[in-house]
Every structure is written in C-alpha cells, then in structure tokens.
C-alpha cells in the first residue's frame, strides 16, 4: 500500500489522482477534504504521532510532504512532523519513502531550505529506502496571488532580472508517482524544474494576458523589500530571511533547467503557458482586482 501525506495539497491532489488504480491511501486531517479526493483515506494529524503510526500499518511505500505553511515566528513544525513520520515508517517496516524537499536544501539554509535539509538528513540516517525530489519554485505560487507577495495587485520581489525555472506541481506529482509505482531509485535525489527559466517581468506579462489586466513585477533592493514586507505586517526577522532568500535567487541559482521530469515521466515538463492556460478561469477570478 502507498500512503500519501499532504494528499490535499498542491502536489498531493495531483498525486492521488495519478495513482488511481494503485493500492493507495491518503492521510488527511479533514474528512470533508478526504471525501473529495476520490480515493481511500485515513484521518489523522502530523501532530498526533499515534495517528501517524496507525496510518502506516501495512504501508510499504510513502510519499512524504506536508506542513507547507511557513510560520512567521521562524519555528519549523515541518521538521518535527516529518521526523515523526520517518521514525514511525521505520518502526512499521516501510520499504521506501519518497520525500518532497526543495532545491538547494542545505545545512544552515534559510527557511525551508534549512528545514528540508534537516529532514533529508534524518531520512538518510533512518535505514529506510529513500529518494528525494528537490523542486524549483512552484508555478502554483502564481495561481491566486496568495503565495506571492503583492501590493496593489502587482507582484513584489527582489529577484532583479534573474530567471527562475518554475515547475508545475502536476509534474512533481508525476515524478513521485513513477518512483512510488516503479523503480523507487533508492539513494537518488532529483532536481525538478520546468522546461524554461523566466524573469518575473516575463511571468507578470504572461499572467497579465490571462488575467485580462496589467500585472507588473515591482523589483526592490533586498533591504527595501524587507522593509516593505515588515510594513505589510510580517515580523521583521522573517521579512529579513525572505529578502535574503530572494537575494540569493537573484544571483541566478534557480535559473538552470534539468531533464529530470522528462527522465522520470517520459514526457516533456509543462511550460508556464501550459499551466496558465489550464488554470485561466481561476487566474482571471483571483487576479481580477
């Protein structure tokens, strides 16, 4: 049995759909959301270790992703929660865990990059079979505007004119589905990107065409960006870390593209135009004002 954590999230929803026909169970905390998934599910919470252990009974492969929200106070519950899953999976005799991480996860990395590195290290030391997916930024960040910083309906950032190879979560899910149903590629890490790298000015122009109004990308120096985020209500140290992360991206480290999506799925990675076209109605509604 394949157990999917984060099944109701941006990746998990695609994954359980793509795994239809397989012996799959979703781990959800809200039964109403579980009902919408169209697959078997168990109800639990990552902060309730007993529910995690119960769900893992009989599982042989696990997709590990959850706790997407970044708390503003700097704590990372994701680390504690995912370590709980790893320990319980080892206890339950699971064969293999496919972990969703982030590109450039590393010791001392800012925000999610440091948190995912701690979890990856825990997984590597667990004795479990493992493979790791390290995606670039998600195209889904642009779906509603809730996952990017905006002011007066325009996108705010400190990326300069650097390019980012955003990837569609549907492709991340397809890669995970391959690893969960075919050779799980024990010990391998895959950097997943879209097929092209775009500047945020180019992305704003594409978004504008779909939304039917002008959406601009407003670039700020990192320190001014941090100040603006604080003015928008973010705690100062969190704003500082976000601006620092964006300044690192401005150096171009999310600009390369890889062939991992094609290598794993046998088809090309989806472009931003593909993504925007498929989600045009949502984008028009969400970005209308």
Ligand X SMILES: NC(=O)c1ccc[n+]([C@@H]2O[C@H](COP(=O)([O-])OP(=O)(O)OC[C@H]3O[C@@H](n4cnc5c(N)ncnc54)[C@H](OP(=O)(O)O)[C@@H]3O)[C@@H](O)[C@H]2O)c1
Q: Can you tell me whether residue 83 is helix, strand or coil?
A: helix
Nearest residue to ligand X by CB is: 9
Radius of gyration of the chain from Cα atoms? 19
Q: Which is nearer to ligand X, 119 or 220 (CB)?
A: 119
**Residue 19 CB partners (closer than 8 Å, separation 6+):** 2, 4, 39, 177, 180, 181
Minimum gap (Å) between residue 105 Cβ and ligand X: 9
Q: Which is nearer to ligand X, 78 or 234 (CB)?
A: 78
Binding residues for ligand X, rule: CB under 6 A, are 6-12, 29-30, 33, 45-47, 65-68, 78, 100, 102, 112, 135, 137-138, 141
Q: Which is nearer to ligand X, 42 or 205 (CB)?
A: 42
Minimum gap (Å) between residue 116 Cβ and ligand X: 6
> At residue 161, what are phi and psi to the nearest 5 degrees?
-105, 25
Minimum gap (Å) between residue 5 Cβ and ligand X: 7
**Residue 209 CB partners (closer than 8 Å, separation 6+):** none
Minimum gap (Å) between residue 124 Cβ and ligand X: 17
Minimum gap (Å) between residue 78 Cβ and ligand X: 6
| C-alpha pair distances (Å), 113 with each of 57, 142, 222, 240 | 30, 20, 18, 15
Find the length of the chain.
289
Q: Which is nearer to ligand X, 132 or 215 (CB)?
A: 132
Q: Which is nearer to ligand X, 53 or 227 (CB)?
A: 53
């Amino acid at each position: 049995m394949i157990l999917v954590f984060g099944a109701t999230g941006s990746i998990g929803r695609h994954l359980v759909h793509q795994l239809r026909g397989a012996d799959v169970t979703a781990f959800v905390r809200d039964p109403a959301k579980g009902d919408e998934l169209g697959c078997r599910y168990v109800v639990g919470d990552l902060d309730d270790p007993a529910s995690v252990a119960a769900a893992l009974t009989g599982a042989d492969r696990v997709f590990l992703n959850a706790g997407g929200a970044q708390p503003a106070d700097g704590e990372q519950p994701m680390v504690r929660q995912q370590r709980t899953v790893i320990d319980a999976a080892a206890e339950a005799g699971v064969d293999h865990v496919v972990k969703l991480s982030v590109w450039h996860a590393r010791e001392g990395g800012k925000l999610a990059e440091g948190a995912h590195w701690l979890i990856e290290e825990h997984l590597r030391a667990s004795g479990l079979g493992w493979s790791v997916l390290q995606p670039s930024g998600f195209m889904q960040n642009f779906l509603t505007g809730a996952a990017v910083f905006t002011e007066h309906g325009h996108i705010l950032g400190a990326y300069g004119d650097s390019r980012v190879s955003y990837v569609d979560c549907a492709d991340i899910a397809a890669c995970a589905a391959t690893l969960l149903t075919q050779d799980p590629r024990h010990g391998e890490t895959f950097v997943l990107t879209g097929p092209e790298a775009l500047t945020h000015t180019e992305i704003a122009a594409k978004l504008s065409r779909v939304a039917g109004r002008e959406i601009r990308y407003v670039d700020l120096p990192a320190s001014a960006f941090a100040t603006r985020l604080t003015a928008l209500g973010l705690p100062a140290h969190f704003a500082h870390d976000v601006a620092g992360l964006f300044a690192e991206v401005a150096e171009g480290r999310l600009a390369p593209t890889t062939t991992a999506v094609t290598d794993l799925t046998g088809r090309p990675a989806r472009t931003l135009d593909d993504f925007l076209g498929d989600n045009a109605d949502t984008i028009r509604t969400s970005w209308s004002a």
